[in-house]
Amino acid sequence: MKIGVFDSGVGGLSVANAIEKALPEHIVLFKNDVEHMPYGVRTPEQILGLVTPILQELVDEGCQAIVVACNTVSTTLIKKLRELFSVPLIAIEPMIKPAAALTQAGKIIVCATPTTLASARYAELKASYAPGIVVIEPDCSDWALMIQDEQINETKVAEDIQSGLKEGADVIVLACTHYHWIEEQIRELAAGRAQVLQPESPIIAELKRVLVRLQ
């Protein structure tokens, strides 16, 4: 079976690699939109026009399920995209629910793009699962582009993370797949103080459930 994976840039490649490792019997097709990234500073209307033809390409190439490996797209457009496409679309969203369940301090850090943070879905996740939790949102607006360009400012990343850790946060949510490429750096910064969450494992679990239904 063919599985599509889409992201604006290199972030989704980490998800595609994880899927290939977990499900080697399937074919994984990865597409991104490097020309127009970062998506996290674009409007939902702009993003819809960019994403739709790429998802259509994956459908035309025979993908029977597509992982939308972009928090920005998932939190702003997944309902609209599901209306446009009949194949199952598996969304990646900020892991607010598990973070809220894990925190002992009642404080979590969410690293996300500006468009994700401004989305109605993100507000809904916070209201539903973290009403009594302090959610710290560092300015990560430049992270995706510097990771895509392999020009990572480790000092800037450390400052962004340390600010939340100093406030006592004990869980860090990586809510952009680009950030998976600096996960080890963030884990080193958070060692002994905070857990780091990213969604590859739960996405693979959801994908497996979808594939069973399709068989």
pTM to 2 decimals?
A: 0.92
Q: Which residue of the set 63, 70, 111, 140 is catalytic?
A: 70
Is residue 70 part of the annotated active site? The answer reads yes
Domain ranges of the chain: 2-92+200-214, 96-197
Q: Is residue 9 within 8 Å of residue 144, measured between CB atoms?
A: yes
Q: Which residue of the set 63, 111, 140, 176 is catalytic?
A: 176
Are both 2-92+200-214 and 96-197 of the same fold?
A: yes
Consecutive H or E run containing 121: helix 120-129
Q: What string of pLDDT tens digits covers the 215 residues of the chain?
A: 999 999 988 888 999 999 999 999 999 999 999 899 888 888 999 999 999 999 999 999 999 999 999 999 999 999 999 999 999 999 999 999 999 999 999 999 999 999 999 999 999 999 999 999 999 999 998 998 889 888 988 999 999 999 999 999 999 999 999 999 999 999 999 999 999 999 999 999 999 999 999 88
2-92+200-214: CATH topology is Rossmann fold (3.40.50)
Q: Is residue 16 within 8 Å of residue 65, measured between CB atoms?
A: no
**How do residues 3-61 score in pLDDT, each as one tens digit?**
999 998 888 899 999 999 999 999 999 999 989 988 888 899 999 999 999 999 999 99
**How far is CA 7 from each of CA 14, 107, 111, 175, rounded to the nearest angstrom?**
10, 29, 17, 13
DSSP symbol at 118: T
Is residue 111 part of the annotated active site? The answer reads no
Architecture of the structural domain at 96-197: 3-Layer(aba) Sandwich (3.40)
